[in-house]
Amino acid sequence: MLNMETIEPKSHSWWWDSHISNENFEWLSKNRQGADQRVKDIKQLLNLIVDGSSSEINPEVYYQKKPELIAHVEEFYCMHQLLAKRYDDLIGELRNNTASLLQTQHKGISDSGSYQVSPLLTPDQKLGLHKSEPAIESELYVSSGGGSSDISLKGGYETSSSSSDSDSESFESLLNKNSFPLVKDDSKGQRQKLLETGKEENVWVAKQEKADETLEVGGDRDPEKLLKSITEYNEELREAKEKVQSSEEEIVRLKSELQKNEPGIVLMGDLMAQPESAQCDIQMKGADLDVERRMVLELQKQVSALKNQVLDSNGIIKTLQKELEITREKHKGAEEPDLSNKKIDCAHQLQDQLESAQKVVSLLEAKLVSEESIVLQLKGQIKRYVVDVSDRDTEIRELKAAFCDAQQNFSLEKSQLQSDIASLSEQQNLLWTSIEEWKLRCKSLENETSRFEAEKKETKSLHEAEQMSWQCDIERLKTEVNERSEQKEVLCKKLDMLKLEYNMLMAEKDGVSAMANTLSAELCCRNDQIREMGHQLSQMHLQHEANKAVLGTIEGARERTNALYLRAEELEKEVDKQRVEISERTEEKREAIRQLCFSLEHYRSRYRELCQAYNELKRYAGLGL
């Protein structure tokens, strides 16, 4: 009996054979090894830059290793984009291939689903059918595999994400058209999460409406309160945007789950193709049976004709033998030699005819034996074909039952997914409407703030002198800012010198603080002296002219103390300013390393997702083969 697996159609295996080859595996393994090596190099550089014990940045190593670190990050980003582009190309080609296969298989099932027996095929028609199958496969290969697989680095991650979104939307439309079972384990938990997020959004919208009412009632509040409310609204708007983004991520995750269930679609395509192939095999077997039955009938006719010929030849041989005996008996006693010679010639002719007839009879008997053996073989083949057809009928019934069960399960899961997607879309629309409302409110608040600013400008017009001085200070500060921005690179290179200067300034600060302490002590003494002198001045008011020299010394001491106070304040300001600059530089370096670590973690997570997706595609390819 023929095995059904040997004749099972595998029209989708050629796609995997064309894409999952040794070259693709070598390319992926090289990219993975390169990405792992880049990650290790980046980790080593970060360990060199950041001291593990004190978690501080070493500026010398940082400036030395900064170009190398940037180069590694750029190479890792390029590898990430290569993998993302390759993944998008593979998914797009697989989606196009499955769509074309599902459409053809769906048409075949709808045509063969009426349980009608098609007319039997002749051997010529079967030969044409076998010839047309590779042509169809070649057309499918050209239509699906003709897409360009070249990878460019200019697209970026945004193009890959947009293409994946468009592909997911086309895949959803394909799922709406075709009903196939999808495997989904955590649909109940996801729906529960979605309901909880919807309740939270409703509560949040109610709170915002109450806040709007209170805002409308208290319209004559202070500008500071309005600014606080604006900041609060901005925070709430940011939270709303984050929630919208989380809901969009949830939708994208559901779409990715739909994409992960593509192997179920391929399996259903196989199940749909099996009844059609079995029906074709039954038709081919029926045609073979008809041809062999005709051959058996023809052989039986030939056997009967040969039997008749054998009987006729036997009769002819018997008549010839009788005639030969009669001629021999008649011409035994003949006297004339001419007549005897003629009779002998006739006897020889009859003998030759008898021998030729015997040879024909032997040939006909051998042919009869061979034809009977062929008839027996054909009868055995007919019995085997009948048993094979019955087995195929049972397999077709089992496949149809499994297909009905899978279709029912898919319809249930499809309805659940559609309800989830509808609820998510409604929540997204609500969030977008709330965001638009908040934008309008922010615009109104901005108008109010502009009005308050106009009032402030009117009040500030009374203090023009102070504004001029402030404007001068602002211009001076702007020039200083420009100078600082120009000197930024120079300051970055002189970070070590600043540390040394910082230590020196700390020492100077200690000296200045000691000097300030001494000056404060002197100032206290001078204040005591001033009090005593003031007391003496009140007593010696009458002797004013005589004490002019004493008053001059007092004024000089007071001026010196004021100068010392001003010098101490200037030194403290310079020390604080340098401390702030140093802390800002260190904070900038830490922030840069922190952002670099975040980007590295992001790229690593994306790389792991791509590896998982490729492993799943590889596993599905093994299952399909």
- Residue pLDDT, tens place only, 37-49: 777 777 777 777 7
* Residue 92 shares a structural domain with residue 225: no
132 and 212 belong to one structural domain: no
User: Degrees (nearest 5) of the Cα angle 101, 274, 294?
Assistant: 120
CATH number of the CATH domain containing 305 = 1.10.287
516 and 457 in a common domain: no
pLDDT in tens, 268-295: 566 556 666 666 766 776 677 677 667 7
Residue 2 to residues 121, 250, 379, 402: CA-CA distances in angstroms? 19, 50, 17, 23
E strand residue ranges, 434-521: none
Instruction: Give the model's confidence band at 180: pLDDT under 50 very low, under 70 low, under 90 confident, else very high.
Output: very low
Amino acid, res. 414: K
Q: What is the pLDDT of residue 435?
A: 78
What's 461's DSSP letter? G
Which residues, other chains included, contact 257 with Cβ-Cβ below 8 Å and sequence gap of 6+? 184
More reliable by pLDDT, 458 or 358: 458
| Residue 618 located in a structural domain | no
**Which range among 402-416, 459-473, 555-569 shows the weakest confidence by mean pLDDT?**
459-473
Residue given tokens 């879309």 in the structure block: 425
Residues comprising the chain, all counted: 625
Judge whether residue 70 has pLDDT over 70: yes
448/417 same-domain check: yes
Residue 358 included in any domain:
yes
- Residue 589 and residue 440 share a domain: no
| 342 falls within a domain | yes
Which of 112, 144, 178 terminates a domain? The answer is 178
Look over the chain and give the mean of its residue pLDDT values, rounded to a whole number: 66
Q: Is residue 279 part of a domain?
A: yes
More confident of the two residues 547 and 512:
512
**519 SS3 class:** helix
Domain boundary among 119, 154, 178: 178
**Residues 299 and 174 placed together within one structural domain of the fold:** no
Same-domain pairing of 538 and 393: no
pTM above 0.75, yes or no: no
Q: What is the reported pLDDT for 482?
A: 75
Structural domains in the chain (count): 3
| Neighbour-count burial of 115, counting CB atoms closer than 10 A to its CB (0-12 exposed, 13-18 middle, 19+ buried) | exposed
Q: Give the tokens for residue 100.
A: 């074309």
Is residue 153 domain-shared with residue 206, that is, in the same domain?
A: no
DSSP 262-315: HHHHHHHHHHHHHHHHHHHHHHHHHHHHHHHHHHHHHHHHHHHHHHHHHHHHHH
317 lies in the same domain as 407? yes
User: Are 421 and 569 members of one domain?
Assistant: no
Cβ atoms 182, 264 nearer than 8 A: yes
| Residue 77 falls inside a structural domain | yes
Q: Please tell me whether residues 220 and 166 are part of one structural domain.
A: no
* Structural domain range at position 541: 493-613
Residues 211 and 346 in one domain: yes
